[in-house]
Amino acid sequence: MRLTVIGTGYVGAVHAACLADLGHHVLGVDVDADRIAALTDGRPPFFEPGLSDLLNRAVATGRLAFSSSLDEAAGFGDTHFLCVGTPQRPGSDAADLTYVDAAVDALAPYLRGNPRALLVGKSTVPVGTADRLARRLGAEVAWNPEFLREGCAVQDTLCPERIVVGVRSKWAKARLREIYAPLLQAGTPFIATDLPTAELVKLASNSFLATKVSFINAMSEICEAAGADVLTLAEAMGRDSRIGPRFLAPGLGFGGSCLPKDIRALTARAEELGQGQAVAFLREVDAINARQRTRTLGLAEGLLGGSFADRNVAVLGAAFKPLSDDVRDSPALAVASAVQDRGAHVRVHDPEAIDNARAAYPALQFALDVAKACEHADVVLHLTEWPQYRELDPTALATVVRGPVLVDARNTLDPEPWRAAGWTVRAPGRPGLGR
């Protein structure tokens, strides 16, 4: 089939490349000329494992191309995937639909009155948006939420756990089944529902995951007060098949462009619908998550005698999660910046996100290798759980720091080798490390 993808940011670029890999002919469209040029050259505008090879392969076959022309998109095919961003609205918890509305308005003259035209939304939007756009567009609209995890996006697209589509006609459902036929033949569940349900799935899923993270972090606070170990608690809880171990990861909490934004957007939309009390708990989920950054600051400051002033602090991690260069709402950088604001000299290391981190936080200092970041450090803060950091040699690192003190804010480093090498190790929810 001939498909277009409107918006070639994180979701759109991955989706376009994967659709081409499934055998379709795909045109990616974006107003950002520099991004289009990079993608045409096979260069992803962000770090995502496996995407560069997939992109280059698809471009080389001729099944994937990119353009900044909606005229070209309209003439290329009749099915258009809408993948533009829906950031948090400035001064509000609600989603900003500026880019969605602009894209639909631009497409409308080409799609209106075309009985074969189908707009398929993948952007995360407030419930009710698809129905509003359908009336505005005068063409068939479906919604197909994305469930990509940064760092696993290619795998999540080509081997998804489920495909959800919100449709208003058997025709739209049949077209989407045809598009995803290779995945359905491989056994991927296909869930067809109405537009409002499809719009809610992504927001509800992310809100549930955020709740799970904040719940174990709330338990972490209780563990510290009671002298219990939160990792053992999480392991025991996760053995319960009704709960499961995933997302029971106590530590610095979640960030990025999805979970924080989505729980706020769902809350805001529920309040607009007069059902704010149904999700009022999500505000506490958000507050617990924000509190983990303050807890990490307090833990590190206490190890330095109560003050960061004129201390050297090494920060391991800048991206909001490993296997990504995304620094949007990064807990690691929020903590690093707060430490610097309290008078410390901070150096940050990250395997992939230094350029983006420097652009977002130009006042911070960055290092290209861990040893340089840790040179003469009074404390080392482990803030993003990159696999590389689990391979560090504590003995070698102890020779470059001024004080062998480690705060494992992600609770993913084995403390025993560090303690054996002479390090003082602390982690949230694990007061037993201090004994």
Return left, alpha or beta for 429; rule: phi > 0 is left, psi -120 to 50 is alpha, else beta.
left
Q: What DSSP designation does 91 have? A: T
CA-CA distance, 220 to 214, in Å (whole number)? Answer: 9
* 376: amino acid identity, one letter: H
Q: What distances in angstroms separate CA 426 from CA 102, 228, 318, 356, 380, one per listed residue?
A: 49, 14, 20, 29, 11
Active site residue 258: yes
Can you name the residues that pair with 380 across neighbouring β-strands? Answer: 314, 406
Q: How do beta strands 25-29 and 64-67 pair?
A: parallel
**In this structure, is the dihedral angle defined by the CA atoms of residues 9, 10, 15 and 18, taken in order, positive or negative?**
positive
Is 418:389 a contact under the CB 8 Å cutoff?
no
- For the chain, the distance separating the N- and C-terminal CA atoms, rounded to the nearest angstrom, is 64
Tell me which residue has tokens 């929020």: 334
Q: Which of 83, 223, 258, 374 is catalytic?
A: 258
Can you name the residues that pair with 166 across neighbouring β-strands? Answer: 143, 193
Centroid of chain to Cα 274: 29
Greatest Cα pair distance in the chain = 73
- The token duo for 297 is 């600051």
Q: What distances in angstroms separate CA 377 from CA 3, 53, 308, 310, one per listed residue?
A: 53, 39, 12, 11
Which residues form the catalytic set? 258
